[in-house]
């Protein structure tokens, strides 16, 4: 099944310390992209002051989050606003998206968090951190892991050999060769156990591996589904996909087999539907194992906005939830619908259609992503940029 990037400090003042926010000189720089697809920055006079050395490996613009996007050029990262104006200078070797007003950045090999003005909220002292989950961020110094809150306070000391993100109020931690789960105070909620591997909690159950087999524990650490499976997935909508001897099916939280292990592959349930394959053909089943879409297609996407992309005889089209054809099989590729539009491919070019199959944006792009909040990321020639629902380039230089 289908699974789916920024070199120097701009006009850096000698007196600029780590806690200083961007100076006005950096705020006059504007993002552009040349006809080779290379990102760069120009000053008010139009002079190029920074440009990527090549279009693919040395420059990228991240997705906008909270009005700002991470820009990377020649190994240095900063942030631009939706007009392409540099608002946080290119001082960092790595940067993440803004989330609730904070973004992770790396400076001189250490990671911390800045606010939307570029001011340090959490000083860069950590070897690793990558964002907040349920209000806490995992951090590491010298391979010892703990957790901080959004003010930078250490709520769980750095005493663990590894820590995962919090999920459902618990986080996976490791000590030596044993695993356990802690709550947000750092208290151990499950016993230490010598698992081969362990995952985060989902619907009150965590997938663990013991002696090469997978099973599930509850929030107390009790093994409620014995480790009998070669492979297993997380619980979703009360069911989990499991595999034994190359055949997959679904179990409930007691370990009872609800849908027989008869498929070559099986994905998790979402909105009452799961993708499965048998004899090289794909289809969709419901939680009772009833086929909603016959297992006769070469590939399938996911149901979205009442339609699913399916492939038959080398071409893609769309079916509805009743298994009826809604958009003919005529595309070289078809993506899932998002905000009433879907990217489709024909003759090596992408365009966008609506749920009736009407072409809204012509086939002209080398790549086309899904619409999110009224815009989509596309590639035309060597340039990558965002378009609106009418196909107009957003913030064109």
Q: pTM here?
A: 0.84
Of 263, 212, 214, 211, which is closest to residue 234 (Cα–Cα)?
A: 214
Report the pLDDT averaged over residues 40-47: 88
- Residue 226 clears pLDDT 60, i.e. is over it: yes
Report the pLDDT averaged over residues 172-187: 97
> Which residues 6+ apart lie within 8 Å of 229 measured at CB?
213, 214, 215, 242, 243, 244
pLDDT of residue 57: 64
Structural domain that includes position 334: 316-397
Q: How many domains does the chain have?
A: 2
Which of 78, 98, 118 is a domain's end point? 98
Question: Does the residue 80 lie in any domain?
Answer: yes
Going by their DSSP bridges, the two strands 223-229 and 333-334 should be labelled as: unpaired
Contact 351, 344 (CB under 8 A): yes
pLDDT of residue 49: 85
Confidence at 394, pLDDT banded by 50, 70, 90: confident
Question: Does the residue 262 lie in any domain?
Answer: no
pLDDT of residue 12: 30
Confidence at 44, pLDDT banded by 50, 70, 90: confident
Report the pLDDT averaged over residues 77-94: 94
- Residue 84 clears pLDDT 80, i.e. is over it: yes
Confidence at 18, pLDDT banded by 50, 70, 90: very low
Question: Does the residue 266 lie in any domain?
Answer: no
Question: Does the residue 17 lie in any domain?
Answer: yes
Q: Which range is most confident: 55-69, 161-175, 380-394?
A: 161-175
Which of 35, 67, 98 is a domain's end point? 98
Rounded to whole angstroms, how far apart are CA atoms 244 and 221? 24
- Residue 383 clears pLDDT 60, i.e. is over it: yes
Report the pLDDT averaged over residues 127-154: 97
DSSP, res 28: G
Question: Does the residue 178 lie in any domain?
Answer: no
292 token code pair: 């909603």
Confidence at 395, pLDDT banded by 50, 70, 90: low
Question: Does the residue 28 lie in any domain?
Answer: yes
Which of 35, 69, 98 is a domain's end point? 98
Question: Does the residue 189 lie in any domain?
Answer: no
Contact 146, 158 (CB under 8 A): yes
- Residue 16 clears pLDDT 90, i.e. is over it: no
Task: Write down the residue that tokens 């958009």 correspond to.
Answer: 327
Which residues face 270 on adjacent strands? 273
Compute the C-alpha angle 338/344/347, nearest 5°: 165
358 token code pair: 């009407």
Mean pLDDT is lowest, of 35-49, 148-162, 213-227, for 35-49
CATH label of the domain that carries residue 389: 2.20.25
pLDDT of residue 32: 87
SS3 277: strand
Question: Does the residue 75 lie in any domain?
Answer: yes
- Residue 56 clears pLDDT 70, i.e. is over it: no
State the virtual CA torsion across 354, 360, 366, 371 in degrees, nearest 10. -50
pLDDT in tens, 310-358: 999 999 999 998 889 999 999 999 999 999 999 999 999 999 999 999 9
């Amino acid at each position: 099944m289908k699974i789916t990037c920024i070199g120097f400090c701009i006009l850096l003042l000698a007196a600029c310390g780590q806690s200083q926010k961007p100076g006005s000189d950096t705020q006059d720089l504007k993002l552009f992209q040349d006809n080779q697809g290379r990102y760069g920055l120009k000053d008010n006079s139009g002079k190029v002051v920074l440009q990527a050395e090549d279009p693919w490996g040395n420059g990228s613009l991240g997705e906008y989050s909270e009005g700002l996007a991470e820009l990377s050029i020649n190994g240095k990262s900063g942030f631009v606003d939706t007009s392409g104006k540099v608002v946080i200078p290119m001082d960092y070797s790595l940067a993440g998206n803004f989330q609730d007003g904070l973004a992770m950045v790396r400076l001189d090999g250490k990671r911390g968090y800045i606010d939307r003005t570029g001011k340090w909220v959490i000083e860069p002292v950590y070897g690793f951190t990558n964002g907040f989950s349920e209000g806490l961020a995992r951090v590491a110094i010298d391979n010892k892991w703990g957790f901080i809150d959004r003010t930078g306070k250490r709520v769980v000391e750095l005493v663990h050999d590894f820590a995962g993100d919090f999920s459902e109020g618990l986080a996976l931690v490791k000590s030596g060769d044993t695993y356990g789960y802690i709550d947000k105070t750092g208290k151990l909620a499950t016993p230490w156990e010598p698992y081969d591997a362990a995952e985060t909690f989902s619907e009150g159950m965590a997938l663990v591996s013991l002696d090469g087999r997978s099973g599930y524990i509850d929030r107390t650490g009790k093994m409620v589904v014995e480790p009998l499976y070669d492979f297993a997935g997380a619980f979703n909508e009360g069911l989990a996909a499991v595999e034994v001897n190359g055949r997959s099916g679904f179990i409930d939280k007691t370990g009872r087999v609800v849908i027989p292990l008869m498929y070559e592959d099986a994905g998790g349930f979402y909105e009452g539907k799961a993708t499965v394959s048998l004899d090289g053909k794909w289809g969709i089943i419901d939680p009772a194992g009833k086929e909603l879409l016959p297992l006769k297609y070469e590939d399938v996407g996911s149901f979205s906005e009442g339609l699913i992309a399916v492939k038959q005889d080398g071409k893609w089209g769309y079916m509805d939830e009743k298994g009826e054809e809604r958009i003919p099989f005529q595309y070289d590729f078809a993506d899932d619908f998002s905000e009433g539009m879907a990217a489709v491919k024909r003759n090596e070019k992408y365009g966008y259609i609506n749920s009736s199959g009407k072409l809204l944006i012509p086939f002209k792009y080398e790549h086309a992503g899904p619409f999110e909040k009224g815009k989509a990321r596309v590639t035309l020639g060597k340039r990558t940029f965002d378009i609106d629902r009418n196909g107009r380039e957003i913030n064109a230089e």
